[in-house]
Amino acid sequence: MWVSTFCSGDPSVFEPYWRKNGGKCTITISGHDSLSYFSDPNSVCWYMEPELQEAIRRVHRVVGNAETEGCHVVAGTGSTVLFQAALYALSTSSSSVAAEPMKVVCAAPYYSQYKEQVELLQSRLYEWGGDAETFDGSAAPFIEVVTSPNNPDGSLREAAVANKTGNGKLIHDLAYYWPNYTPITRPADYDIMLFTLTKCTGHAGSRIGWALVKDVEVAKKMTTFMQITTIGVSKDSQLRAAKILDVVAEDCEQHAADADKTFFGESRKLMAERWEKLREAVKDKKDVFTLPKYPKRYCNFSGRYFQPAPAFGWLECKEGCDASALMKAHNVLTRGGETFGVSSRYTRISMIGREEEFERFIERISGIQCVDEEDEEEEEEEEGFVVMNGNNGGDVIRLGNENSNSHGKWLEQVEVQ
Ligand SMILES: Cc1ncc(COP(=O)(O)O)c(C=O)c1O
């Protein structure tokens, strides 16, 4: 049986665009290229190709989503490794060498990988401190990660605790602050800003991310982390990423008066269409689950108001219901709220997968039906249907056309929660 996996954030949604326009990004790498570890001995990030640095600054300039002036650019194998590099740099800076590991916090729901990365090597420099909203930041220096727009719920965020206490050092993960997902309201201007090609253009497999860093000492430490862990970043990937970003930036410059014609414009339209389909599919299921509402904002890049269309849908079910188990019963694998530090009433679905998978998902979610309580008894007797009564004694959900074994399992999971 086909099982749709909506738990990963693999950004294949932009593949059709690149199939149509990818020819412009072709580069040739000869046998004699990329032999040396070094790229630019005059730059803090000595392994970074100057073309990539230029292309990154150019794309931020034309999109207007980040202030690059006065920032050092540090390249990484995706932004994942740069998160670790930033943790290393911030937890070893001379002003904050601590006897205890520094706590790393992020407001819940948070991107699940932060916790996994912080805990993986059981470092003596830092440790996971959980939800920033409930963290007491008055005692010792700590690191707060701010993800905006947030993965998983698409909210626009500012620091929850760091600005209140003066003890916190900030890492801003701005992976989704691009016009394909959200209106660009101002250039972001923070101490450490992480970006990635993965969510900007969809080229996750190229594994290119970058950090814009204000403090040169922090940038040097991040580069040292990269030097010791991987001795740099693939030059072949850097050159390809530079070309892709240049093509995107040039396209934006050429269509400055009509942003809809750019990569970002077309991608935003696609994302908006998907969100419309999702909202349509759940609109008569308010008793089962709801989606967040995002207000329209003016986008400086597009020159108009639009509603954010985040990379993930954040479904909220009624109290007592396990949202990812509900989706699993419909053969849709999603990532449950507990992974993101909140209740299992929530689950995350990817909006950036392949078209056919997305359509299949919409079909399945449309198949979830609400049943009036008085119909419950009758429905329970019907063969091939399972009735799930929410623990709060509220609405009843009927799951149709599914194999009874998987329903049985799902009911067990729901009942023990
Ligand atoms: C908020 C956030 N930051 C970072 C990443 C990792 O990106 P990369 O592929 O550059 O490692 C992701 C990937 O899903 C993400 O959602």
pLDDT band at 330 (very low <50, low <70, confident <90, very high): confident
Closest ligand 1 atom, CA of 198? 9
- 100-113 pLDDT tens trace: 999 999 999 999 99
pLDDT at 142: 96
Tell me which H or E stretch contains 143.
strand 142-147
Which of 196, 220, 253 is the C-terminal boundary of a domain?
A: 253
Which of 206, 235, 253 is the C-terminal boundary of a domain?
A: 253
Closest ligand 1 atom, CA of 79? 10
- Report the complex ipTM: 0.99
Helix 216-230 to helix 78-91 angle (10° resolution) is: 120
248 with 372, same domain?
Answer: no
Q: Hey, which of 151, 193, 201, 226 would you mutate to test ligand 1's pocket, going by the most ligand atoms within 8 Å of its Cβ?
A: 151
Tokens of 138: 């008055």
* Average pLDDT score over residue span 12-29: 96
Residue 3 domain flag: no
Residue 265 domain flag: no
- 344-388 pLDDT tens trace: 999 999 999 999 999 999 999 988 875 544 444 444 433 322 222
Residue 283 C-alpha to ligand 1 middle, in angstroms?
30
Please work out whether the CB of residue 79 comes within 6 Å of at least one atom of ligand 1.
Answer: yes
Q: Is the pLDDT of residue 392 over 60?
A: no
- 280-296 pLDDT tens trace: 999 988 888 899 999 99
Please work out whether the CB of residue 77 comes within 6 Å of at least one atom of ligand 1.
Answer: no
Please work out whether the CB of residue 78 comes within 6 Å of at least one atom of ligand 1.
Answer: yes
Closest alpha carbon to 278 in 301, 312, 306: 312
Q: What are the helix (H) ranges across 255-315?
A: 263-282
Residue 80 C-alpha to ligand 1 middle, in angstroms?
6
Residue 113 domain flag: yes
Residue 260 domain flag: no
Please work out whether the CB of residue 149 comes within 6 Å of at least one atom of ligand 1.
Answer: no
Closest ligand 1 atom, CA of 76? 10
Query: CATH number for the domain including 125?
Result: 3.40.640.10
Which of 188, 220, 253 is the C-terminal boundary of a domain?
A: 253
Please work out whether the CB of residue 151 comes within 6 Å of at least one atom of ligand 1.
Answer: yes
Question: What gap in Å lies between CA 66 and CA 85, rounded to an integer?
Answer: 20
Q: For tokens 């409930």, what's the residue?
A: 134
82 with 210, same domain?
Answer: yes
Please work out whether the CB of residue 148 comes within 6 Å of at least one atom of ligand 1.
Answer: no
Residue 76 domain flag: yes
Nearest-CA residue for ligand 1 atom 13 is: 9
Please work out whether the CB of residue 147 comes within 6 Å of at least one atom of ligand 1.
Answer: yes
Q: Domain containing 176: what range? A: 13-27+35-253
The structural domain count of the chain equals: 2
Residue 98 domain flag: yes
Closest ligand 1 atom, CA of 311? 16
Question: What gap in Å lies between CA 179 and CA 268, rounded to an integer?
Answer: 7
Residue 306 domain flag: no
Residue 304 domain flag: no
Q: Is the pLDDT of residue 408 over 60?
A: no
241 with 380, same domain?
Answer: no
75 with 205, same domain?
Answer: yes
Backbone angles phi, psi at 299, to 5 degrees: -100, 115
